[in-house]
A = this chain, B = another copy of it.
Amino acid sequence: MNQQHHKLSNVTHLVQGELLGSADFLVQGLASLEQANENQISFVNGQKYLPQAILSKAGVLIITSDLQKELPKTKQYIIVDNPYLAFAQLTHAFEIQGQHSGIEETAQIHSSAIVADSAYIGHYAVIGENCVIGDATRIQSHAKIDRGVEVGKNCFIDSHVTITGCAKLGDRVRVHANTVIGSEGFGFAPYQAKWHRIAQLGSVQIGNDVRIGSNCCIDRGALDDTILSNGVIIDNLVQIAHNVNIGENTAIAANSGIAGSTVIGKNCILAGACGVSGHIKIADNVTLTGMSMVTKSILESGTYSSGTGSFESKQWRKMVIGLRQLADVPLTKLVKRLDHIQTQIESIESTLKMRK
């Protein structure tokens, strides 16, 4: 009950595909090959899914021209070049969205705030002094848009999001529930064994088409701004510290953290739970695999990894003991000793030969 219904001709038009089937067929949802019923549409994401496609009960399959030839003509198809992209596009057609405009009467909007007529402001949302909310932007219930924050057009800000620190968001930005943007960075001056708070005066600049998941923290800068460039996508529970600068279209998966003032390039991919130290630089097109630990700048694009992998625990304990030995027994010295011994043996052997 969680999806819209559409005529097959419309669906085909949306993905600019070619239809092999009945234009009036009513598509009642998108589903995986295994789960789809005869009223639903599914997609074949490459050769290896052909066996599942043959077994699928889906009423319609999105597929390439080549692969379709290997399937029975009795089914309905939408022919496209890139079935996965077509699927991504179609999910939007089948998504049920909430209300699109209007201001709930329980919302608190400061008299100086500018809210577009086409925006939606949910129950108990609070929009502060001098805020700007752009066209067709939807602010869900209980969101807090603090003084001086600006949100562009066609944005989606989910419930319990806090945006403060005079952050500026571009267009088509999506911020999921309970995320905090523009809160104070972790800046303290140590003096006489105490921590002296440095009030954070910078802000946050978020470009267009940025996506931030749930329960994330994007801190405001200390003096200059924290920056997320156009097209950056961020998963849940991610920490972006003050003055971090992330390049275009970089993706950061859940539980990762980037420490202060680090600069990350364009088109990078950080898998889950990566940790990146502060004040370093990551080049463009760098991929970090899950749980990577980066303490120094990475200046060449490529794929980088950390960690030991997983061990059965008894074996792991032996390995950890081995690591302690490894600190004290440099392997290169062992190799040198072996080389030296080899030389000694060869010398002995030649001595023995001479004396034969």
Binding site for B on A (CB under 8 A): 1-3, 29-32, 35, 82, 84-85, 87-89, 91-92, 94-96, 98, 106, 108, 122-124, 126, 128, 140-142, 144, 146-148, 158-160, 162, 164-166, 174, 176-180, 183-184, 186-189, 191, 193-201, 203, 209, 211, 213-217, 219, 223-224, 231, 233, 235-237, 239, 241, 249, 251, 253-255, 257, 259, 267, 272-273, 275, 277, 288-296, 298, 302-313, 315-332, 334-335, 337-338, 341-342, 344-345, 348-349, 351-352
User: Which residues of B lie under 8 Å from residue A96 when comparing CB positions?
Assistant: 147
Q: Is the CB of A160 within 8 A of B178?
A: yes
Cα separation A47 to B19 with both chains bound (whole Å): 71
Residue A311 contacts which of B184, B211, B223, B327 (CB distance < 8 angstroms)?
B327
Residue from A35, A82, A183 whose CB has the most chain B CB atoms within 10 Å = A183
Q: Is the CB of B237 within 8 A of A211?
A: no
With A310-B293, A322-B326, A338-B337 in contact, is A85–B144 under 8 Å at CB? Answer: no
User: Which residues of B lie under 8 Å from residue A162 when comparing CB positions?
Assistant: 158-160, 177-178, 214
User: Which residues of B lie under 8 Å from residue A273 when comparing CB positions?
Assistant: 257, 273, 275
Q: A31-B224, A334-B338 are in contact. List 17 more A-B contacts (CB 8 A).
A: A1-B166, A2-B148, A30-B223, A35-B224, A84-B189, A144-B177, A174-B184, A178-B180, A188-B251, A214-B217, A254-B257, A275-B291, A304-B313, A306-B308, A308-B323, A316-B327, A319-B327
User: Which residues of B lie under 8 Å from residue A179 when comparing CB positions?
Assistant: 178
Q: Is the CB of B306 within 8 A of A91?
A: no
Q: Is the CB of A186 within 8 A of B289?
A: no
Closest CB of chain B to A285's CB: distance in Å? Answer: 10
Q: Is the CB of A194 within 8 A of B309?
A: no
Q: Is the CB of B325 within 8 A of A310?
A: no
User: Which residues of B lie under 8 Å from residue A159 when comparing CB positions?
Assistant: 126, 144, 146, 162, 164
Closest CB of chain B to A119's CB: distance in Å? Answer: 18
Cα separation A19 to B267 with both chains bound (whole Å): 48
Cα separation A209 to B15 with both chains bound (whole Å): 43
- Nearest CB to that of A191 among chain B residues? B85
Cα separation A194 to B248 with both chains bound (whole Å): 9
User: Which residues of B lie under 8 Å from residue A310 when comparing CB positions?
Assistant: 288, 292-296, 298, 304-306
Residue A123 contacts which of B108, B186, B309, B337 (CB distance < 8 angstroms)?
B108
With A217-B213, A313-B289 in contact, is A3–B201 under 8 Å at CB? Answer: yes
User: Which residues of B lie under 8 Å from residue A309 when comparing CB positions?
Assistant: 293, 295, 306, 320, 323
Closest CB of chain B to A142's CB: distance in Å? Answer: 6
Closest CB of chain B to A159's CB: distance in Å? Answer: 4
Cα separation A269 to B324 with both chains bound (whole Å): 24
Residue A332 contacts which of B85, B186, B325, B349 (CB distance < 8 angstroms)?
B325
- Nearest CB to that of A288 among chain B residues? B310
Q: Is the CB of B194 within 8 A of A211?
A: no
Residue from A2, A96, A158 whose CB has the most chain B CB atoms within 10 Å = A2
The 8 closest A-B pairs by CB, nearest first: A322-B326, A91-B199, A88-B189, A162-B177, A305-B316, A95-B199, A319-B327, A217-B236
